[in-house]
Structure 1
Amino acid sequence: MKYNKLKPIYKSIINLKAFFLKKGYVLAIMLMVLLSCSDFIEVDPPKNILVSETVFDDSATVESALASVYYNLREYGIVGYGLSADMGIYADELDYYASNSHDLSVYLHSMTPINSKVANYWKNAYKLIYAVNDIIKGVDDSKALGADEKATFKGQALFMRAYLHFVLANIYGDVPLVTTTDYQTNNTIGRTAANEVYDAIIADLTLAVSLLDSSDPTGERVIPNKAAGNALLARVYLYTENWEMAEATASLLIDGFELETDLSKVFLKESTETIWQFKSDPADTRNTHEANQFIIQAIPGNRYSLSNALLNSFEEGDLRYDDWIGSFTSADGLTTLYFPYKYKALLSEVESLEYTIVFRLAEQYLIRAEARAQQGDMAGAQEDLNRIRSRAGLDDTPATSKASLLDAILHERFVELFTEQGHRWFDLKRSGKAGEILGSVKPNWKSTDVFWPIPESELEINPNLLPQNKGY
């Protein structure tokens, strides 16, 4: 994630590093990025709490700190390809064929609190929350940054804090709401009720949207701006059943972006409907991890394939089936498996053709459709739903009642947003249909599976996180 605008600052970052080492300061996570976003100094608290205010005297250094957060999210965080794969096998999108015991327990719904996936999602998320809290505090306290710079940097950090808490709350339920860099406080903090976490998320996003600029300084939609903040805000309003605000916020994006008419271009880096995406690493001329992990190139040897539940959900004539699904047949001709083919360029491609999309316009149409249906605006809900269906080559929805429209929208989200950022699992959970749908395809399904367990390692360190989630 080496943005063009950051290239001139690498030399100054190296000089800053030398300055701090000379002065005896310990750099925090904000100076993770040195020569490229691939090279990091990883310093865990409490070692990184001694940070000179001089770090925030230079806008380039703060830009580097934020770039490191985006890089970590793409490579190691709880947003990106990991979320798409893990939530895909946890729901009914993907089948799993490899032998990793931790992945198998996710797929088979036999997870325990010592599962490494459980621990890594939690640890990586809170590490980044600590980092953005550090950025927020440093920016607020800085006497060198200009007002516009402060607004932009703080807006980005608030957006990331909101997004991280959003995903945590959807995976674990009640989670710690961390808004400080006080290590002693964070090490003994208890869990906050999910509804209060959502209130804090909305507050962070509302402030972030007010601070962020509408422009796209990179021209590639790889740095969160006002549109990215509104995209997450619309989703949060939908999840919290604030239908009126979900409709209004989604409308802002529908009015400001253009739906890509050609399905083969939706996941290219220049797609007109992309709101925010993770840039591939130009140092390695890489494309997306999604393509590399989902495209089947050998049987055996694949980890994932699309489930029959998903394949059978496509209507006859759905162009998404033709363009977004690929297949591979084994050498003996006996086995054919299907895979997500939204991202088509492998990491070995010479040029980065695709970036990992986090928010795109099609979701906003489906958010507004659901919000309108919930408010009794059936015609408006049909109109939005039909925009997505029409692009896929399908006739208008036959659904007319509120109940049938909501079912149709949930179905449309399944075939439109499959293997993207955990949408399917989160939709099943929030709609109350997880047991109804997964009970027949997951033999070990339990009603308590709507939340993952709190990592055992975290409970041992901080007993204030007790009690453990039910069922574990």
Structure 2
Amino acid sequence: MKKILSTYILSAILLSGICLPTSCEKFVELGAPPTQVELDDAFRTDASARSVVLGLYVSTVNSNISGTTTFYAGMAADDLQYNAADPSLLEFGNNGLLNTNSYVNNLWGSLYQLIKNTNNCVYGLEKSTTLTPAVRDQLIGETKFIRAYAYLYLVNLYGPVPLHIKSDLEVFEQVSLERAAVDQVYNQILTDLTDAEVKLNTTYEGTFRARVNKHAASALLARVYLYRGDQEKAESYATKVLQASDYSLVAPTANFVNDSKETIFQLANLTGITTFGTNYITSATVIPSYTLPERVYNSFETAPTTDLRKSNWISPKTVSGTPYYAVNKYKLSAGTGNEYHIVLRLAEQFLIRAEARANRNNLSGAKADVDAVRKRAGLSGLPSGLTQAQMLSAIETERLHEFFGEYAHRWMDLKRTNRATAVLSPIKTSWQDTDVLFPIPNAQIVINGKLTQNAGYEN
């Protein structure tokens, strides 16, 4: 029996979907359709294997995981305000999600489809005996990074989730998995990222830092260890990135272009226009679907100098007498441009290390890292003599000002520091402690009877 790799070809070299059916005799008898290639052929040569892995990046962009994780979690937190009238999206903003919410289900499906694709890639790459060893390692590293990235969002948004790391060929008959404990999911994330960091090169493949390298794996490891409360390793991995000569902080006016020196990893697109630009930017008389809440806008420093992030990343506008605060990090919304979806950037590594140092009582080191980010924003350093609690509070505020409207940073920060209820309950009248997780989609529970529902969403 021949093993078939099913792909959706977007261009001559970019493949966006992977499926490995085991019962493929009929496909062979009928003649493989043009979107099917044999598994052994897909991973036989360096060129074909690269094409499959490039397809993982394409599928990540096409599924709009950047936008959905950002917009949904931003509304659920306090860094995005939703201004339209879709009732299913309003559920995120008022933290009244139903377990039948189609957006919650679609996000779950997109992340698991990406994981399915990476599982099949890892299987094919590890099985291949014909690839150049260095190329094979690089591609495995990239694939495991993407799988870890997908699981990081799943476990933070939904809590315990099914842990599926085998290819379709190995578990085709297995139709359901139970939810794995959060610690078990994180262990897999760390296993994947640690192996990726070993296998990846420090130099970037291709152009515009649009494929992950060793520093990208280190950067995501720093984030994961911070989330897990391992302050020593969070500091260590962030330091690896900060000591690299490839990156530097840049002025807020130049952060979000695709040749920024601050970018560690970004997702490329064909037009240079991002989902952030198209959703955040509108004409003067049109209200953006998502804006920055007024209370966040007012929290930026203005004296003795104005925070350059406020003046460069936010555009106040008034429509029909109502003020709105447009998120203006990405400047382009149509046509062609030079903006990609920036997933990892250097400022985060400074703030990860600052928080890790503060938690280890190295307050002078924490201050130095925060001050580096503040200096780039045109601000003076933090006051001397802050207590540990004051330093951690200052870092929380700095992270809000740095990462609003980006990749669910605020939502994850409030959850991991157990600050969600304290911050959100005063401004969200229907807030409940159980709102820190999204519901497990009811459609998935119907399909997989082993899934259980998160507390607060049983009805």
| Same-fold status (TM-score > 0.5) | yes
Find the counterpart in structure 1 of residue 46 from structure 2: 59
Find the counterpart in structure 2 of residue 14 from structure 1: none
Structure 1 contact 97–303 (Cα < 8 Å) conserved? yes
- 1:299 offset after TM fit, Å? 4.2
- For the pair 1:380 / 2:368, whether they are aligned, the reply is no
Question: After superposition, what is the alpha-carbon deviation per residue over 1:436-463, rounded to whole angstroms, capped at 9, x for unaligned?
Answer: 1111122221100111111111111111
Find the counterpart in structure 2 of residue 222 from structure 1: 210
- 1:184 offset after TM fit, Å? 4.3
- 1:44 offset after TM fit, Å? 8.8
Question: After superposition, what is the alpha-carbon deviation per residue over 1:167-191, rounded to whole angstroms, capped at 9, x for unaligned?
Answer: 1000000011111023446522111
- For the pair 1:251 / 2:239, whether they are aligned, the reply is yes
Q: CA 1:32 to 1:48, structure 2 compared with 1: closer, same or farther past 3 Å? A: farther
- 1:53 offset after TM fit, Å? 1.4
Of 160-169 and 252-261, deviating more is 252-261
The letter of the residue matching 1:373 is: A
Of residues 165, 168, 172 in structure 1, which corresponds to 2:154?
168
Structure 1 contact 45–183 (Cα < 8 Å) conserved? no
- 1:405 offset after TM fit, Å? 0.4
Distance 1:188 1:216 in 2: 38
For 2:175, what is the secondary structure of its paired residue?
helix
- 1:216 offset after TM fit, Å? 1.0
Of residues 355, 362, 366 in structure 1, which corresponds to 2:340?
355
- For the pair 1:68 / 2:55, whether they are aligned, the reply is yes
For 1:327, what is the secondary structure of its paired residue?
strand
Find the counterpart in structure 2 of residue 125 from structure 1: 111
For 2:5, what is the secondary structure of its paired residue?
coil
Of residues 390, 394, 402 in structure 1, which corresponds to 2:379?
394
Distance 1:160 1:240 in 2: 19
- For the pair 1:345 / 2:332, whether they are aligned, the reply is yes
Q: CA 1:441 to 1:185, structure 2 compared with 1: closer, same or farther past 3 Å? A: farther
- Specify which structure has the higher proportion of helix: 1
- For the pair 1:28 / 2:9, whether they are aligned, the reply is no
- For the pair 1:109 / 2:95, whether they are aligned, the reply is yes
The letter of the residue matching 1:274 is: T
- For the pair 1:471 / 2:456, whether they are aligned, the reply is yes
Question: After superposition, what is the alpha-carbon deviation per residue over 1:337-384, rounded to whole angstroms, capped at 9, x for unaligned?
Answer: 1111110022224xx211110000000000000000011101000100
For 1:57, what is the secondary structure of its paired residue?
coil
Find the counterpart in structure 1 of residue 255 from structure 2: 266
For 2:166, what is the secondary structure of its paired residue?
coil
Of 215-224 and 165-174, deviating more is 215-224
Distance 2:17 2:133 in 1: 29
- For the pair 1:442 / 2:420, whether they are aligned, the reply is no
Structure 1 contact 326–339 (Cα < 8 Å) conserved? yes
Find the counterpart in structure 2 of residue 5 from structure 1: none
Where in structure 2 are the equivalents of 1:302-381 lying within 5 Å? 302-316=288-302, 317-330=306-319, 334-349=321-336, 352-381=337-366
For 2:429, what is the secondary structure of its paired residue?
coil
Structure 2 contact 218–241 (Cα < 8 Å) conserved? yes
Structure 2 contact 212–265 (Cα < 8 Å) conserved? yes
Q: CA 1:44 to 1:343, structure 2 compared with 1: closer, same or farther past 3 Å? A: farther
- 1:73 offset after TM fit, Å? 1.4
Under a length normalisation based on structure 1, what TM-score does the superposition of the two structures give?
0.88
Find the counterpart in structure 2 of residue 198 from structure 1: 186
Q: CA 1:45 to 1:81, structure 2 compared with 1: closer, same or farther past 3 Å? A: farther
Distance 1:82 1:48 in 2: 34
The letter of the residue matching 1:226 is: K
Structure 2 contact 3–40 (Cα < 8 Å) conserved? no
Question: After superposition, what is the alpha-carbon deviation per residue over 1:307-354, rounded to whole angstroms, capped at 9, x for unaligned?
Answer: 022112201121111111112333x5x2331111110022224xx211
Question: After superposition, what is the alpha-carbon deviation per residue over 1:410-447, rounded to whole angstroms, capped at 9, x for unaligned?
Answer: 01000011111110000011111101111112222110
Distance 1:377 1:139 in 2: 43
- 1:300 offset after TM fit, Å? 4.7
For 1:85, what is the secondary structure of its paired residue?
helix
For 2:414, what is the secondary structure of its paired residue?
helix
Q: CA 1:439 to 1:445, structure 2 compared with 1: closer, same or farther past 3 Å? A: same
Distance 2:443 2:24 in 1: 22
Find the counterpart in structure 2 of residue 405 from structure 1: 391
For 1:326, what is the secondary structure of its paired residue?
strand
Q: Percent identity?
A: 34
The letter of the residue matching 1:245 is: K
Count of residues paired in the alignment: 439
Structure 2 contact 78–424 (Cα < 8 Å) conserved? yes
For 1:217, what is the secondary structure of its paired residue?
coil
Question: After superposition, what is the alpha-carbon deviation per residue over 1:194-242, rounded to whole angstroms, capped at 9, x for unaligned?
Answer: 0111111111111110001111122310001101111110000000011
Unaligned runs of 5+ residues in structure 1 are 1-22
Distance 2:41 2:12 in 1: 20
Q: CA 1:455 to 1:315, structure 2 compared with 1: closer, same or farther past 3 Å? A: same
